């Protein structure tokens, strides 16, 4: 049931809903979730079918334009994304200002926001052509910046994007290629990256997407809005969970230590939570997790890493949590980040880059949501209300009279 607060009379009523457990902030035609039934659809298409049959760029087109592309439309879209992957050479100087041990998410917040200082020709948000070129620039350049933030941290030269590669193959090339040797992206790993990107591309009004919409509702430029989304995604309760999950698996270290962590997760006096378990919306199972689980077995099998200690810990944790009364009662299922972290670790992507990968994928969803909002004629600036619980009226006292 939906109560439309506007019908109750402007400014006379407002809801108190911290955490937005039951408040819709907008209408949207992009992503549909039924958390109880474990359903996720982009523009009406089930996520399972898209993950099985689509490429990431096809899904990006669908999210942004609303329809699956024809062959000619997809070719044209791919051409434009591919030919915008380079960043301005001046951008290299931004990187040298960061400490080598800076977290890549800290770098991403800064450099994605900085894109707005390079593209003055696309900042008029009321011009649909400007919105379109900004969308293309963001989707094309975020992977380049992501790979640059990694290369910078390990002291290797930046790798220029290569137009003959697919979106995901190009990302692997920019991450793992070096100028002195040929690097051939492994098709199984390319497919796994594509799947990770597809599954993380949009998830309706989560914290980071809502942040992008709220920032954008004031008319801020899209690069600044996406930088705000990246900042919001970084937290461990949101996109930072994949990193936190892997760190936890490594800390557990061996199967015999699992009971101790299960006990801690149930102890209400201990702030510890089992990272990679539970979801605000999916209270049955996370449909993305099911697909990621299959991909995890495929990738680890391909790389011969299925019997690694990390994988043993992960599988045992999954087994125990799925049977344990506490986790079953509270409907705490492994979420998509539980498996995506395992896959990325096996591929050699450093843990600190996990949330950056999430940001790369979600950039498409953020952009689609931002475009939908800006195109809406009745769009208003987002302005939540509050319940004021502080002091009411007090008389000012000069400092010599205060206690
Ligand atoms: N481990 C142990 N207990 C948990 C966990 C967990 N991972 N998650 C929730 N609980 C417990 C809570 O303590 C609470 O118990 P109570 O009813 O006795 O107070 C109950 O389950 C409900 O938890 P809430 O925090 O109220 O649920 P909410 O829907 O607000 O939180 C969230 C969802 C933030 C994802 C939570 O499950 C969590 O912190 N999980 C771990 C972090 C994580 O994996 N996040 C990734 C989300 S997926 C994504 O962003 C793509």
Distance between Cα 254 and ligand 1 center (Å): 24
In whole angstroms, give the CA distance from residue 191 to residue 402. 67
Residue 84 CB neighbours (<10 A): 17
Per-residue pLDDT for 55 more than 90? yes
Distance between Cα 19 and ligand 1 center (Å): 13
Is the pTM here over 0.95, yes or no? Answer: no
CA-based torsion, 102, 241, 175, 348: positive or negative? positive
Number of H helices, E strands in the chain: 17, 3
Could you tell me the CA-to-CA distances from 79 to 62, 73, 75, 140, 143 in Å, in that order?
Answer: 16, 10, 6, 10, 16
Residue to probe by mutation, ligand 1, list 245, 273, 335, most atoms within 8 Å of CB = 273
pLDDT at 147: 98
Share of the chain above pLDDT 70, in %: 99
pLDDT at 14: 81
Query: CB within 6 Å of ligand 1 — which residues?
Result: 237-239, 241, 265, 273-280, 330, 332, 335-337
Give the ipTM: 0.91
In whole angstroms, give the CA distance from residue 25 to residue 221. 20
Per-residue pLDDT for 7 more than 90? no
Residues noted as catalytic: 279, 337
Distance between Cα 277 and ligand 1 center (Å): 7
Report DSSP state, residue 334: B
Per-residue pLDDT for 9 more than 80? no
Token pair of 237, please? 């309760």
Per-residue pLDDT for 11 more than 80? no
Burial class (CB in 10 A: 0-12, 13-18, 19+), 117: middle
Distance between Cα 339 and ligand 1 center (Å): 17
Residue 277, beta-bridge partner list = 334
pLDDT (tens digit per residue) in 354-397: 999 999 999 999 999 999 999 999 999 999 999 999 999 999 99
pLDDT at 10: 66
In whole angstroms, give the CA distance from residue 42 to residue 40. 7
pLDDT at 202: 98
Which residue's CA lies nearest to atom 32 of ligand 1?
A: 279
pLDDT at 12: 72
Quick check: helix, strand or coil at residue 219? coil
Contact 118, 112 (CB under 8 A): no
Higher pLDDT, 225 or 120: 225
Which atom of ligand 1 lies closest to the CA of 358?
51
pLDDT at 218: 96
Q: Give the residue-averaged pLDDT of 233-255.
A: 89
């Amino acid at each position: 049931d939906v109560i439309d607060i506007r019908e109750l009379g402007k400014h006379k009523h407002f809801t108190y809903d911290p955490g937005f457990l039951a408040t819709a902030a907008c209408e949207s035609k992009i992503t549909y979730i039924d958390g109880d039934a474990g359903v996720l659809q982009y523009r009406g298409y089930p996520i399972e079918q898209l993950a099985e049959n689509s490429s990431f760029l096809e899904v990006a087109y669908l999210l942004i334009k609303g329809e699956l592309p024809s062959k000619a439309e997809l070719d044209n879209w791919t051409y434009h994304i591919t030919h915008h992957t380079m960043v301005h050479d001046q951008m290299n100087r931004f990187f040298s200002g960061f400490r080598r041990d800076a977290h890549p998410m800290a770098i991403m917040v800064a450099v994605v926001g900085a894109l707005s200082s390079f593209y003055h020709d696309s900042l008029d948000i009321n011009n649909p052509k400007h919105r379109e070129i900004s969308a293309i620039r963001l989707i094309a350049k975020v992977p380049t910046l992501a790979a640059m933030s990694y290369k910078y941290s390990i002291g290797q030269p930046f790798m220029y994007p290569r137009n003959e590669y697919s979106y995901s193959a190009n990302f692997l090339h920019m991450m793992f290629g070096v100028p002195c040797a040929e690097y051939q992206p492994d098709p199984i790993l390319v497919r796994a990256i594509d799947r990770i990107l597809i599954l993380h591309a949009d998830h309706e009004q989560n914290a980071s997407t809502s942040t992008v919409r709220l920032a954008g509702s004031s008319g801020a430029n899209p690069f600044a809005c996406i930088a705000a989304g990246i900042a919001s995604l970084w937290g461990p309760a949101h996109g930072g969970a994949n990193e936190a999950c892997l760190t936890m698996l490594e800390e557990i270290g061996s199967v015999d230590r699992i009971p101790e962590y299960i006990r801690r997760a149930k102890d209400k006096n201990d702030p510890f939570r089992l990272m990679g378990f539970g979801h605000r919306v999916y209270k049955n199972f996370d449909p993305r997790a099911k697909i990621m689980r299959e991909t995890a077995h495929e990738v680890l099998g391909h790389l011969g890493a299925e019997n690694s200690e990390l994988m043993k810990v992960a599988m045992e944790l999954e087994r125990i949590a799925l049977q344990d009364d506490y986790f079953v009662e509270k409907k705490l299922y492994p979420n998509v980040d539980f498996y995506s972290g395992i896959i990325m670790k096996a591929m050699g992507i450093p843990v600190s880059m996990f949330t950056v990968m999430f940001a790369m994928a979600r950039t498409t969803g953020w952009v689609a949501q931002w475009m939908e909002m800006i195109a809406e004629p009745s769009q208003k600036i987002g302005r939540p209300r509050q319940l004021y619980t502080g002091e009411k009226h007090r008389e000012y006292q000069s400092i010599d009279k205060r206690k």
